[in-house]
Amino acid sequence: MRSMRLNTALLPVMLLAATVAAAQSQSPVLGEQTVRVSAHVWAIMGYPNIGIVIGSRGALVVDTGLGPRNGATVARVVSRLAPHAKLYLTTTHFHPEHASGDAGFPAGTTLIRNTVQQQELEAQGEAIIAAFAAKNDLQRELLSDVKLRKPDITFDSEYRLDLGGGVRARLLWFGGAHTRGDELVFVEPDRTLISGDVVQNRVVPRISTEGSTPSSWIAVLDKVQPLGALHVLPDHSDVGDGTLVAKERAFIVDLETRALDMKRQGVGVADAGERLTADFKTRYPEWQIASVSGFVQSIYAE
């Protein structure tokens, strides 16, 4: 019991360290090449994947890249894809590779964000930007003098954006998963889900913020499933189809069930993480599994 109290007390520090560590193996500089995800959705695949939704009157960008330099790269790409479109920007969550590049977008860009995410950004944004900047000289340069502006529009659970020509984007907040303020974007009529870190393509989930739990993540996925997505663009993995939602849920439920069984048997959290990592590498050979220990810690702590 004493060790569990210690883990809970250290949770904010551990979560921040895990978030920074997850960024270490990926290049933080975005390129300008795009792939077409669906009829009205393009993506710049990188760190992170950037979603671009284009209608006849407007274009919505989902996430900014790390710092204003990357934001400006994204803006140049959009200007080529839709040179006369009204530009909108939203972010899937408050981490720097997703939300720190808004200053790179042109004046007049309308920034939209859900209320919970904005609260997280105001409370933790400066600290996590400093942690990312301390990683190396390139990230320090990309994040130098970042000034995060207030959104033009905030919403509680849903904001509907009509981009013209029958293209509509539903900006959705269903609750906490990877972070408390996770935002998803569902594009109609494509039935394309831009899923942030909530739905990945065979990547172990990771809770990065106090207030999110494995149970709340499952509850979010239960709200995502009825959207009936045909295409899914995650933030940090390959494009996939709508089955990724059910696969993500099944993985979390399986891991939660097995971890709770070990907890009832008195198995320590560290031992459970090691055992389940070995088990899940066998059970899910197509998944990118280095370790499930972080998520097991979240299960034990809930």
Residue 248 lies in a domain: no
Residue 249 lies in a domain: no
Q: CA 241 to CA 180: how far, in whole Å?
A: 25
Residue 254 lies in a domain: no
> Which residues have CB under 8 Å from 264's CB, separation 6+?
none
Residue 211 lies in a domain: yes
Q: CA 178 to CA 84: how far, in whole Å?
A: 35
Indicate the number of domains in the chain: 1
- pLDDT given at position 6: 31
Residue 145 lies in a domain: yes
- pLDDT given at position 21: 46
Residue 259 lies in a domain: no
- pLDDT given at position 216: 97
pLDDT in tens, the chain (302 residues): 333 333 333 344 444 444 444 444 578 999 999 999 999 999 999 999 999 999 999 999 999 999 999 999 999 999 999 999 999 999 999 999 999 999 999 999 999 999 999 999 999 999 999 999 999 999 999 999 898 899 999 999 999 999 999 999 999 999 999 999 999 999 999 999 999 999 999 999 999 988 899 999 999 999 999 999 999 999 999 999 999 999 999 999 999 999 999 999 999 999 999 999 999 999 999 999 999 999 999 999 99
The two three-digit tokens of residue 264, written as one number: 């009832």
With H, G, I as helix, E, B as strand and everything else as coil, classify residue 208: coil
- pLDDT given at position 26: 73
Per-residue burial over 143-156, b if 16 or more Cβ lie within 10 Å, else e, is beebebeebeebbe
Task: Identify the CATH number of the domain in which residue 72 sits.
Answer: 3.60.15.10
Residue 275 lies in a domain: no
- pLDDT given at position 211: 85
> Which residues have CB under 8 Å from 273's CB, separation 6+?
291, 292, 293, 294, 296, 297
From the centroid of its chain, how far is CA 170? Answer: 16
Residue 284 lies in a domain: no
For residue 151, the enclosing domain spans 2-243
